[in-house]
A and B are shown apart, each in its own frame.
Chain A
Amino acid sequence: MMILSGDPPRSRVLSILLVVIIAALAVTPLVFPGAKAMNVATKICIFAALVASYDLLLGYTGSVSFAHTMFYGIGSYSIAIALYSMGPNWAAVASGVVIGLPLAMLLALGIGLFSLRVEAIFFAMITLAVASAFLVLASQLSWLTGGEDGRSFQLPELLRPGTVLISKDLIGFELNGRVLTYYLIFIASAAMILALLRVVNSPFGRVLQAIRENRFRAEALGFRTVFHLTYANCLAALVAASAGMLNALWLRYAGPDTSLSFSIMLDILLMVVIGGMGTIYGAIIGAAIFTLAQNYLQALMGAASNAAADAGLPLLPGLLHPDRWLLWLGLLFIASVYFFPTGVVGRLRNPPRRPS
């Protein structure tokens, strides 16, 4: 209970689901050592933390930010640029962290102080504007960021796939640098999610919920709402930047498409909404469902598209083409906002009563 900050899942099915997901993630390198399974598992870990931090904003304070990928990108790029320019050593990783986190936080502070004073809707528009300017900057300043190509870099010796720590014949599986990186990401993500759980169940988190429900009343009770909202914005930015750093460590690359694009923002929004806003646990569920679907359903779409093309149907092959994946995602998004505003977690906690 302590570790969950007194906020258990409160539903048997949800608890089982969470245990299954976390256990599966914990044993992935042992059971499914293939590259694709490892990539999917890593993406679930990183996005669970990223989405949980977004949930702190969207679910707990009710403010829509479109700049979350910007912080994610700042984290990715700071690690990538540091390792690219300083060479593969731990000092570079450390300086990436030391530069990236304060940068993300200062930017979040600036945006927060600037736009959270007025209205939630202002915040949404201003974050959208700032994030798109940042995306343009990142792809234009190619001397620093590598432009559209991004930056590839080498990891420190210990984390490289070629580094074998314990060979296969000793314990039955190979413990190499890649597996070590995976567990680093797994533990860091879990720690961030638990920390966020702690934040939302603290008195501070209660104030955030009060602001979400009625900002005017929260202000009348004497809370400085701008301070609370800005603080939450900074915390979320910190976690997002950390998640971005983990992402860069795993991919050994940072570029506009993998860490800054608008489609990542959409993925995050979708995961929050599917999992359930304002629950933190929803982030884990949403990230797991979404990532699995994205990686394994796209192949299915391709097959369906080919089948439709073979059958000579008009229009369907285009609509089912794997590149049109976002079209169906968008429809799913609208449907889930409309029909399941509380998401999977909300449904499991309060199942709809059947008319008797």
Chain B
Amino acid sequence: MTDIAATGALPKPKRDILPVLLPAILALAMLPLIGSGSSWVTLTVASLAMGMMIFIMASGLTLVFGLMDVLNFGHGAFISVGAYVATLVLLPLAPYAQADSLLTNLAVLAPAALLSMAVSGALGLVVERVLILPVYGQHLKQILMTTGGLIVAEQALYALWGPQIIPLPLPTSLRGSFIIGDIAIAKYRVLAMLVGLVVFAGIQLVLNRTKIGLLIRAGVENREMVEALGYRIRRLFLGVFMTGSGLAGLGGVMWALYREQVHASMGNDLTVLVFIVVIIGGLGSIGGCFIGALLVAMVANYGGFLVPKLALVSNILLMVAILMWRPRGLYAVTSR
């Protein structure tokens, strides 16, 4: 009789660590090229902050695709809607936003961000029911429908708010920089990094420590099996879609404050960036999306500093390089 019982411990699942190290390697490799340590720190902080904002916008998109195989080309609409809704709160309450007190400023910013998230989340509900439900499972029509949705949303914003750029100044206490020695770090970037980390940690906690997260991860892995076990995956999907839309709205507010202006075309511009991030990260992977966002932001910042002309196409070059290395993105989650 042969002994088939396992003797040793089970082999540990192989951890794919290289993509995680990639941003750090890139940052360190750039240090000698940039030369001055203080500008390196500034650039690195800038790219971390920018990466976090892009991650917030992209996270919903990648989860929605992973879970339901739905690619929302209208994701950018939620970004611009979020930014516009924030102006509804921030502009009338401008005296409070310009008051020289961190507490008052945050007391205005927080409701603005929450309202934006709520409105874009609600819009997500409408989009899912009206545009995506009828063409569920048909990629071609999904792309066409959501592209149409993006156009309608952008034009509706123009019709409601007018085509001009709306200036959105940063609250007083978030302007300026912390200065440590000869290193200057913009205050708003620190806030953006904090918010991004909180969102990332929140998503990871929900995905890895709750039952809903377990179901989402199972759904990404095998949708039919989850359905067969009696869970209503459509409702789960609707929840993920609304959360993703809400996060896109939050990202929109943060981006608008970062640029200190709001315009309906920002959704369109950011869609491309968000797509690149999602492709680089591997469709459906939150971790990959996080790393992809950091990489894109780093390449944009370092590239803009070292070779300004290259910055125009640096994202495409990064995407090409990553896809040459791993054709399905850094972390290929789905088997599709």
Interface residues in chain A, defined as those with a beta carbon under 8 Å from any beta carbon in chain B: 58, 62, 64, 114, 117-122, 124-126, 128-130, 132-133, 136-137, 140, 262, 266, 269, 273, 315, 318-319, 321, 323-324, 326-327, 329-331, 333-334, 337-338, 341
Q: Which residues of A contact B140 (CB under 8 A)?
A: 58, 62, 64, 120
Q: How far is the CB of A18 from chain B (nearest CB, A)?
A: 25
Q: List 17 A-B contacts (CB under 8 A).
A: A62-B140, A119-B336, A120-B140, A125-B275, A125-B279, A129-B315, A266-B147, A269-B147, A315-B159, A324-B155, A324-B158, A324-B159, A326-B154, A327-B159, A330-B151, A331-B148, A331-B152
* Residues of chain B from 101 to 154 with CB closer than 8 A to chain A in the complex: 131, 134-135, 139-141, 143-145, 147-149, 151-152, 154
CA distance A129 to B319 in the complex (A): 10
CA distance A62 to B145 in the complex (A): 15
Name the contact of B141 in the complex, choosing from A114, A132, A327, A341 (C-beta under 8 A): A341
Q: Do A64 and B144 have beta carbons less than 8 Å apart?
A: yes
Listed stretches B78-86, B172-180, B320-328; interface member: B320-328
Q: Does chain A have a CB within 8 A of B202?
A: no
- The residue in chain B whose Cβ has the minimal distance to the Cβ of A319 is B159
CA distance A189 to B179 in the complex (A): 64
Interface residues in chain B, defined as those with a beta carbon under 8 Å from any beta carbon in chain A: 71, 73, 131, 134-135, 139-141, 143-145, 147-149, 151-152, 154-156, 158-160, 162-163, 268-269, 271-272, 275-276, 278-279, 283, 312-313, 315-316, 319-320, 323, 327-328, 336
CA distance A285 to B235 in the complex (A): 41
Q: Which residues of B contact A136 (CB under 8 A)?
A: 312-313
Q: Do B316 and A130 have beta carbons less than 8 Å apart?
A: yes
Q: Given that A330-B155, A333-B148 are known contacts, is A338 also in contact with B160, CB under 8 Å in the complex?
A: no
CA distance A199 to B119 in the complex (A): 49
Q: Which residues of B contact A126 (CB under 8 A)?
A: 279, 319
Q: Given that A129-B316, A130-B316, A140-B312 are known contacts, is A334 also in contact with B152, CB under 8 Å in the complex?
A: yes
Q: How far is the CB of B284 from chain A (nearest CB, A)?
A: 12
- The residue in chain B whose Cβ has the minimal distance to the Cβ of A339 is B134
Q: Which residues of B contact A329 (CB under 8 A)?
A: 151
Q: Which residues of A contact B134 (CB under 8 A)?
A: 338
CA distance A262 to B272 in the complex (A): 12
Q: Which residues of A contact B71 (CB under 8 A)?
A: 121, 124-125
Name the contact of B159 in the complex, choosing from A114, A125, A128, A318 (C-beta under 8 A): A318
- The residue in chain B whose Cβ has the minimal distance to the Cβ of A321 is B159
Q: Do B149 and A121 have beta carbons less than 8 Å apart?
A: no
Q: Do B268 and A262 have beta carbons less than 8 Å apart?
A: yes
CA distance A192 to B216 in the complex (A): 49
Q: Do A334 and B145 have beta carbons less than 8 Å apart?
A: yes
- The residue in chain A whose Cβ has the minimal distance to the Cβ of B273 is A129
Q: Which residues of A contact B159 (CB under 8 A)?
A: 315, 318-319, 321, 324, 327
Q: How far is the CB of A214 from chain B (nearest CB, A)?
A: 13
Name the contact of B155 in the complex, choosing from A129, A130, A327 (C-beta under 8 A): A327
Q: Given that A137-B312, A324-B155, A324-B159 are known contacts, is A330 also in contact with B148, CB under 8 Å in the complex?
A: yes
CA distance A154 to B271 in the complex (A): 38
- The residue in chain B whose Cβ has the minimal distance to the Cβ of A320 is B159
Q: Do B327 and A118 have beta carbons less than 8 Å apart?
A: yes
Q: Which residues of A contact B278 (CB under 8 A)?
A: 125
Most buried by A among B140, B268, B276, B316: B140
CA distance A310 to B254 in the complex (A): 40
The 8 tightest CB contacts between A and B, nearest first, are A327-B155, A330-B151, A330-B152, A334-B148, A333-B148, A318-B159, A125-B275, A132-B272
Q: Do A137 and B155 have beta carbons less than 8 Å apart?
A: no
Q: Which residues of B contact A337 (CB under 8 A)?
A: 135, 141, 144-145, 148
Besides A129-B319, A327-B159, A333-B147, 18 more A-B contacts (Cβ < 8 Å) are A64-B143, A118-B327, A120-B140, A125-B71, A129-B276, A129-B316, A132-B269, A133-B315, A266-B151, A269-B147, A273-B144, A315-B159, A323-B163, A326-B154, A329-B151, A333-B144, A333-B151, A338-B135
CA distance A323 to B157 in the complex (A): 13
- The residue in chain B whose Cβ has the minimal distance to the Cβ of A272 is B144
Q: How far is the CB of A113 from chain B (nearest CB, A)?
A: 12
